[in-house]
């Protein structure tokens, strides 16, 4: 079993405009409505880089920033994990269109922004962070894989870790085979030791896949959970919002799932 202490949370999704304003929805005290969302462009970035950022980068920066501010942590000092099921579909689409023309000329800026670790690069530019950073993908199970990666770092290095998980819709025709409905991002500021910043303790273990991970979620949140890989984090986020001890399942690979236990101080 791997353990860490959560110090800060970031969230951005349809009808979920930030952790602090969404807690009552996640706790079930208010109904959820999938309202249109605005993804801010980070003023941490210089103007030239700010103009080039796509949805995935903006989601990562917005949620990571919220988690750092919630925890009162300096992002420059933090190791990071970025996890997404697919990355920037808009740039991938434009590159595919370019390759289908006779000229086959691909914009260097488009290529730069299409790679899977582009959000990590922009995070470094925005914050000045030079600590270890990992970008990974595990298809629909990317949140669970990212959580394990972050907790493994904490277990081995005994240093704080910022986890960011995010997904964005693809344009057609890719959307026909990869139908992610809405943008969604979340972030967890994790630490190896309890402190005055601690919100709750998190313990994670592997178990056979035997429970429906969306069980108990309000209907609107269940739809997000099923439609967006990064929203597989919602059972955990709802447990955190309720501020009670709880065990929740999180989707993972190969017939397994994670059992996440939250224990408020």
Q: pLDDT tens digits, residue range 107-151?
A: 887 877 888 999 999 999 999 999 999 999 999 999 999 999 999
Q: Tokens for 151?
A: 């907790």
Residue 262 vs residue 93, higher pLDDT: 262
Q: pLDDT tens digits, residue range 28-45?
A: 999 999 888 889 888 999
**Residue in the structure block whose two tokens are 């970025």:** 82
Q: Tokens for 262?
A: 């939250």
pLDDT confidence of residue 224: 94
Helix (H) or strand (E) holding 56, with range, is helix 55-71
- Assigned fold of 2-196: Peroxisomal Thiolase; Chain A, domain 1 (3.40.47)
pTM for the whole structure: 0.94
Q: pLDDT tens digits, residue range 206-231?
A: 999 877 788 889 878 999 999 999 99
Inform me whether the pLDDT recorded for 90 exceeds 90. Answer: no
Q: pLDDT tens digits, residue range 168-202?
A: 999 899 888 898 989 999 999 999 999 999 999 99
Average pLDDT, the chain: 92
Inform me whether the pLDDT recorded for 81 exceeds 90. Answer: yes
- Domain coordinates in residue numbering, the chain: 2-196
Which residues, 6+ apart, have CB-to-CB distance to 48 below 8 Å? Answer: none
Inform me whether the pLDDT recorded for 243 exceeds 80. Answer: yes
Which residues, 6+ apart, have CB-to-CB distance to 101 below 8 Å? Answer: none
pLDDT confidence of residue 238: 96
């Amino acid at each position: 079993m791997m353990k860490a202490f959560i110090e800060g949370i970031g969230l951005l999704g349809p009808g979920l405009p930030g952790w602090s304003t969404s807690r009552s929805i996640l706790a079930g005290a208010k109904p959820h409505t999938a309202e249109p969302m605005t993804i801010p462009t980070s003023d941490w970035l210089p103007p030239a880089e700010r103009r080039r950022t796509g949805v995935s980068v903006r989601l990562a920066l917005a949620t990571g920033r919220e988690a750092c501010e919630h925890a009162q942590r300096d992002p420059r000092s933090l190791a990071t994990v970025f996890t997404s099921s697919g990355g920037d579909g808009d740039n991938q689409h434009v590159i595919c269109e370019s390759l289908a023309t006779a000229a086959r000329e691909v914009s260097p800026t488009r290529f730069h922004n299409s790679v899977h670790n582009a959000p990590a690069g922009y995070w470094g530019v925005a914050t000045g962070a030079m600590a270890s950073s990992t970008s990974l993908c595990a298809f629909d199970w990317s949140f669970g894989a990212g959580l394990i990666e972050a907790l493994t770092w904490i277990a081995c290095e005994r240093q704080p870790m910022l986890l960011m998980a995010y997904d964005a819709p693809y344009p057609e025709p890719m959307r026909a085979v990869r139908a992610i409905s809405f943008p969604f991002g979340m972030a967890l500021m994790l630490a190896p030791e309890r402190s005055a910043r601690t919100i709750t303790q998190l313990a994670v273990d592997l178990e056979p896949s035997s429970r429906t991970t969306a069980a108990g979620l309000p209907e609107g949140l269940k739809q997000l959970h099923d439609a967006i890989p990064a929203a597989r984090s919602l059972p955990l986020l709802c447990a955190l919002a309720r501020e009670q001890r709880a065990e929740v399942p999180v989707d993972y690979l190969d017939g397994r799932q994670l059992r996440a236990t939250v224990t408020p101080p």
